[in-house]
């Protein structure tokens, strides 16, 4: 075996790629694998985003790996702490040494004759080719080079600075200045209280509201358990506690949305100034968890509103002006800095062109299998985490399932596995079944999911845990050959 043929080629050295490598090397110490990473650093999302206050919006006991306890006091953690966690996981297991940086994978071609992938990457202006038995993409779900900004009239007239959170300028000084943050998602609700600490005033300008709930940044139960039981024992207990809490909240939101709405509203009433217009600014038209709910640690957004350092305006932009924004209601917002927290551009499999014997795979005509492989595409695995729970819960299960597959194939001398759908009547639905605008915009570029197992995209961790960790690999759809 030459250095450029590998058993497993992982693409992406973010949270998922490092986790995948850890599982593979733990289960098969003798196996050859490498990670190809387009950037010059480990960490993915947690290295790319540098805006003020960047943090997780789920708890780190479930966003952390199953195999490595999160030991920090804060459960809702700051971006740099998460980055350090991913990097130290990689360094401790020597995964950083197996990562080839500056390698952007552009194409992967499966050869039926050779039973291997030929993977092409760009590296320092040159093209590099490797072959691998398995291709395992951990490329996240969005474009790194460009965040999403809708078209706004008059941006060239504006005399201040326009900033996108995905490309935060290191030299941006907003102390004492008037800031408008456009958006209502996780990034906007993180930025607003964080910038409000130094800015003159921060206005969050939203077209429509989002459900926002407050959680303690430090989980008292998790920290007490850690003190009494130590990290190793306390971590899985807290992880299960948090899985149970988020599953129950999600299920309750689906079944009794009215109850969840009123609980959220009562909590907001307690944290906002008396008489605050909750209907306009905090009451979405959809039900809780039809789109991802935003979490604010220790109610920081509500606190900034109470203090008067931040405010929310629910309106639509007519145009940018020299001094700020003119809104459809006729109101004007003055600004020195405008932050467009308007979202991401989704991208499937890091933009890699997948081919089977030279023929490109049309992703929109392909079915995802168990939300982690593709129908008709051999020896290929991908990681896309949950939208209603922490990403890593799914990423860990995908890696465990992949290791089970590999072990079984080794045992039986099989070299190829491929999920096949024999049922032409199987109805399909979008892989990412989520109403959010940024998801809807890009669905056509993603594979689809089926209406029933094993082609369904599971959004329940407990269900996936049973299926991916314990159920037989022979489910009728997965075909093995030697």
Ligand X SMILES: Cc1cc2nc3c(=O)[nH]c(=O)nc-3n(C[C@H](O)[C@H](O)[C@H](O)COP(=O)(O)OP(=O)(O)OC[C@H]3O[C@@H](n4cnc5c(N)ncnc54)[C@H](O)[C@@H]3O)c2cc1C
Instruction: Kindly list the residues in this chain that would bind ligand X in the complex (CB under 6 A).
Output: 11-17, 36-39, 44-45, 49, 56-58, 63, 103-105, 138-140, 144, 187, 350-352, 383, 385, 390-391
CB of 474 to ligand X, least distance (A): 28
Nearest of 166, 214, 208, 211 to residue 191 by alpha carbon:
166
Euclidean distance between CA atoms 13 and 135, whole angstroms? 14
CB of 421 to ligand X, least distance (A): 26
Nearest of 448, 294, 293, 471 to residue 363 by alpha carbon:
448
CB of 277 to ligand X, least distance (A): 28
CB of 39 to ligand X, least distance (A): 4
Euclidean distance between CA atoms 324 and 159, whole angstroms? 8
CB of 473 to ligand X, least distance (A): 24
* Cβ proximity to ligand X, 75 vs 268, nearer residue: 75
* Cβ proximity to ligand X, 313 vs 436, nearer residue: 436
The residues facing 120 across adjacent strands are 107, 129
**Three-state secondary structure call for residue 174:** coil
Between the alpha carbon of residue 222 and those of residues 89, 296, 412, 461, the distances in Å are 21, 18, 43, 20
CB of 176 to ligand X, least distance (A): 26
* Cβ proximity to ligand X, 36 vs 304, nearer residue: 36
Contact 331, 315 (CB under 8 A): yes
CB of 167 to ligand X, least distance (A): 13
* Cβ proximity to ligand X, 17 vs 52, nearer residue: 17
Nearest of 100, 92, 123, 82 to residue 33 by alpha carbon:
100
Euclidean distance between CA atoms 107 and 419, whole angstroms? 21
* Cβ proximity to ligand X, 44 vs 375, nearer residue: 44
* Cβ proximity to ligand X, 38 vs 449, nearer residue: 38
Euclidean distance between CA atoms 396 and 400, whole angstroms? 6
Euclidean distance between CA atoms 178 and 201, whole angstroms? 5
* Cβ proximity to ligand X, 38 vs 304, nearer residue: 38
Q: Are strands 5-11 and 126-137 parallel, antiparallel or unpaired?
A: parallel
Contact 354, 320 (CB under 8 A): no
Nearest of 340, 364, 331 to residue 442 by alpha carbon:
364
CB of 279 to ligand X, least distance (A): 28
* Cβ proximity to ligand X, 37 vs 336, nearer residue: 37
Euclidean distance between CA atoms 17 and 402, whole angstroms? 13
Contact 372, 382 (CB under 8 A): yes
């Amino acid at each position: 075996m030459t250095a450029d043929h590998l058993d497993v080629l992982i693409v992406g050295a973010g949270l998922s790629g490092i986790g995948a490598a850890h599982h593979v090397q733990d289960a098969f110490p003798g196996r050859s694998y490498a990670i190809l990473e387009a950037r010059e650093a480990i960490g993915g999302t947690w290295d790319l985003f540098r805006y003020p206050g960047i943090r997780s919006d789920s708890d780190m006991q479930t966003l952390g790996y199953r195999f490595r306890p999160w030991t920090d006091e804060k459960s809702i953690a700051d971006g740099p702490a998460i980055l350090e966690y991913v990097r130290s996981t990689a360094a401790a297991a020597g995964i950083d040494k197996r990562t080839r940086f500056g390698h952007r994978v552009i194409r992967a071609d499966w050869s039926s004759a050779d039973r291997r992938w030929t993977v092409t990457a760009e590296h320092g202006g040159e093209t590099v080719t490797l072959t691998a038995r398995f291709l395992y993409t951990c490329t996240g779900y969005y474009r790194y080079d460009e965040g999403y900004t809708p078209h706004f009239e008059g941006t060239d007239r504006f005399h201040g600075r326009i900033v996108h959170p995905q490309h935060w300028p290191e030299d941006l000084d907003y102390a004492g200045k008037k800031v408008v943050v456009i958006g209502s998602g996780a990034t906007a609700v993180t930025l607003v209280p964080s910038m409000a600490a130094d800015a003159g005033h921060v206005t969050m300008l939203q077209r429509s509201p989002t459900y926002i709930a407050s959680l303690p940044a430090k989980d008292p139960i998790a920290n007490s358990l850690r003190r009494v039981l130590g990290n190793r024992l306390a971590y899985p207990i807290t992880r299960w506690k948090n899985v149970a809490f988020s599953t129950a909240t999600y299920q309750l939101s689906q079944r009794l949305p009215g109850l969840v709405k009123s609980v959220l509203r009562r909590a907001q009433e307690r944290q906002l100034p008396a008489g605050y217009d909750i209907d306009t600014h905090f009451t979405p038209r959809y039900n809780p968890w039809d789109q991802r709910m935003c979490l604010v640690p220790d109610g920081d957004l509500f606190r900034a509103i109470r203090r008067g350092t931040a405010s929310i305006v629910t309106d639509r932009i007519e145009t940018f002006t020299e001094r700020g924004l003119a809104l459809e209601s006729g109101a004007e917002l003055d600004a020195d800095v405008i932050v467009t927290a308007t979202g991401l551009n989704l991208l499937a499999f890091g933009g890699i062109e997948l081919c089977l014997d030279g023929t490109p795979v049309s992703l929109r005509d392909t079915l995802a299998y168990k939300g982690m492989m593709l129908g008709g595409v051999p020896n290929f695995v991908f990681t896309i985490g949950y939208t209603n729970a922490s990403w890593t819960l799914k990423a860990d299960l995908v890696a465990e399932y992949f290791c089970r597959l590999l072990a079984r194939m080794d045992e039986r001398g099989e070299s190829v596995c491929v999920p096949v759908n024999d049922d032409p009547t199987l109805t399909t639905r979008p892989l990412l079944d989520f109403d959010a605008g940024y998801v809807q915009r890009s669905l056509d570029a993603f594979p689809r999911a089926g209406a029933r197992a094993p082609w369904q995209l599971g959004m329940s961790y407990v269900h996936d845990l049973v299926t991916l960790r314990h159920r037989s690999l022979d489910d009728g759809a997965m075909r093995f050959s030697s």
